[in-house]
Amino acid sequence: MGNVYGYARVSTREQKEDRQILALTQIEIPMNQIFVDKQSGKNFQRPMYQRLLRKMKENDLLYVKSIDRLGRNYEEILEQWRVLTKEKKVDIIVLDMPLLDTRRGKDLMGTFLSDVVLQVLSFVAENERKNIRQRQREGIEAAKLRGVRFGRPQKPIPEEFGQAYEKWIAREISGKEAAKQCHMPSTTFYRKAGRMRIQTDGTN
């Protein structure tokens, strides 16, 4: 057998990879043989994974905590599994699913069973991510209906705004001067002034 490696991935920099690292070190994989990426699904460039691919040779062994660490969707997981097992000719062990251990069942039936299990698990993993995103969207919509506001809270309009706005409307001062009197950027003044005009026109 060749070298033994571990790979861990989290989707955002806020998430922690500790659980995956702990599982990998418990089977005595040295820390310098564990590669970790923190990349979102939106930007799936994985520098450490690419470094791992370049480093691994035939008959090396790769451990991952769960199958969805290999990719962001069903197709990506299957493609990376193919690259690792067919092109790189390395073995893979998925800790959360002992059936996915390519060291066992090297005959045709064993390979077939591993491929079937892999496809089912990849499909389930992708569906679970879709369901989580759907539940998040539904939760946000429900919160919006209850009046919950998301995003950065708006700063209160300064007391000087009304007077500066009236002078600006009357063309007594420029928008830049009005913004200066309100102690805000010109873009902010114009945005709030636009909202004010819409509200005023709507009440006339």
Question: Known catalytic residues?
Answer: 11
Nearest to 64 by CA among 124, 4, 132: 4
Nearest to 118 by CA among 144, 89, 84, 141: 84
Alpha-carbon distance of 6 to 23, in angstroms, equals 10
Structure tokens, 145:
């209906």
For the sheet with 34-38, list strands across it: 34-38, 4-10, 61-64, 91-94
Sign of CA dihedral 125, 131, 134, 140: negative
Residue type (1 letter), 116? V
SS3 101: strand
Which residues on neighbouring strands pair with residue 36, listed in sequence order?
8
Task: For residue 193, give the nearest of 178, 180, 203, 181 by alpha carbon.
Answer: 178
Amino acid at 191: R
Amino acid sitting at position 101:
D
